[in-house]
Amino acid sequence: MSQLNPAMPLGVFDSGLGGLTAVRELRRVLPGEDIVYFGDTGRVPYGTKGREVIISYARQDIAFLLSRDVKTLLAACGTVSSTFPAAEGDALPAPYLGVVGPTTEAAARATKNGRVGIIGTEATIASGSYKAALEPLCPGVETVGAACPLFVPLVENGHFAPGDPLVELTVVEYLAPLKAAGVDTLILGCTHYPLLAGAIGAYMGPDVTLIDSGRQAALALKARLEAQNLLNPRQSGGATAYYVSDAPERFSRLAAILLGDENPGAATQITIEKYDLRWIRKGYRPATD
Ligand code: DGL
């Protein structure tokens, strides 16, 4: 690892392509920063896996990004952010940030009636991460969580527009209990859900504030870079390099949708299993793929 400096890229990782919703926000909030993105498309989904497997995958994802000399590590994935141990994140050689902290802070600021809905993958909801982070910020808060396992495949198959019958059916199925509970704030605790914000917002109604975890993480990362004097002084022109563990063509095709960018550029396939956090810490890098 080189000494951290402002010219280095930001590292962002996710279980697949969903983290591109966070990249889209980073480009808006930090347009001068270069980004190295890793999507674990060969092992997605993480949201149905057990805790130990998710942590071991996240360690390899982080090791890959550190091998690319990034100055920060953003876990865009709600599942990783809910599972990766905070103490391990704090001990990494570059500042590590997950989405749970910034997202719950925004939810605590937004709620007026103290009733907050949380939606995410099965692993995220089972972890209780958002509830645990929210309670100290918002004493007496009532949370209602719902796992929404069909949202990710719907988005990845192009079903996210308001009015799409599959989306409408699924939104009602998952969100009816949260609506009935009278939540006034809803945490979109998964990378893919911002694409469903139109349909979710239409169902929940105008009085419910939707909190986008990618947006909040991008704002928090900017504040962290400023505090640590790691902000790139450039105001524009940041470039993104994409790496995946499988199916780079599919990634690039879907990336155009998630980024809202017609030409996101090609992705490079790497062998993620080669990357080991213990070796990277000692300065060893795998031979290039
Ligand atoms: N990226 C994951 C998340 O935000 C969703 C997809 C998956 O299950 O891996 O939780």
Q: What would the pLDDT profile of 199-244 be if each residue is shown by its tens digit?
A: 999 999 999 999 999 999 999 999 999 999 999 999 999 999 999 9
Cβ-contact 23, 12 below 8 angstroms: yes
The Cα 280–Cα 154 span in angstroms is 37
What residues act catalytically? 77, 190
CA of 246 to the centre of ligand 1 (A): 16
What does residue 185 show for φ and ψ, rounded to 5 degrees?
A: -140, 135
> Among candidates 165, 247, 154, 166, which has minimal Cα distance to 195?
154
Q: Which atom of ligand 1 is nearest to the CA of 14?
A: 1
CA of 78 to the centre of ligand 1 (A): 6
pLDDT at 2: 65
Cβ-contact 44, 16 below 8 angstroms: yes
pLDDT at 156: 87
Task: Quick: pLDDT tens for 155-203.
Answer: 988 899 989 999 999 999 999 999 999 999 999 999 999 999 999 999 9
Task: Quick: pLDDT tens for 15-59.
Answer: 999 999 999 999 999 999 999 999 999 999 999 999 999 999 999
Probe ligand 1: pick from 17, 190, 213, max atoms within 8 Å of CB?
Answer: 190
pLDDT at 247: 96
pLDDT at 289: 65
Q: Is the peptide bond before 45 cis (omega within 30 degrees of 0)?
A: yes
For the chain, list the strands marked E by DSSP: 10-14, 35-39, 72-75, 96-98, 115-120, 142-147, 185-188, 209-212, 240-244, 267-269
* Mean pLDDT along residues 58-74: 96
Cβ-contact 39, 244 below 8 angstroms: yes
Nearest CA to ligand 1 atom 6: 45
Task: Quick: pLDDT tens for 130-145.
Answer: 999 999 999 999 999 9
DSSP 99: S
Terminus-to-terminus CA distance in the chain, angstroms? Answer: 19
Probe ligand 1: pick from 15, 154, 215, max atoms within 8 Å of CB?
Answer: 15
Fill in the amino acid letter for 20: L
The Cα 32–Cα 158 span in angstroms is 30
CA of 191 to the centre of ligand 1 (A): 6
Longest dimension (CA), the chain: 55
CA of 142 to the centre of ligand 1 (A): 25
State the chain's mean pLDDT as an integer. Answer: 95
Q: In what order do the strands lie in the sheet with 115-120?
A: 142-147, 115-120, 185-188, 209-212
Cβ-contact 218, 29 below 8 angstroms: yes
Using CB distances shorter than 6 Å, the residues near ligand 1 are 14-16, 18, 44-47, 77-79, 120-121, 124, 152, 190-192
The Cα 104–Cα 107 span in angstroms is 5
pLDDT at 64 over 80: yes
pLDDT at 288: 61
Residue 228 corresponds to which tokens in the numbers above? 């640590």
C-beta neighbour count of 174 within 10 angstroms: 18
The Cα 75–Cα 206 span in angstroms is 30
pLDDT at 264: 82
Task: Quick: pLDDT tens for 261-289.
Answer: 777 889 999 999 999 988 777 776 666 66
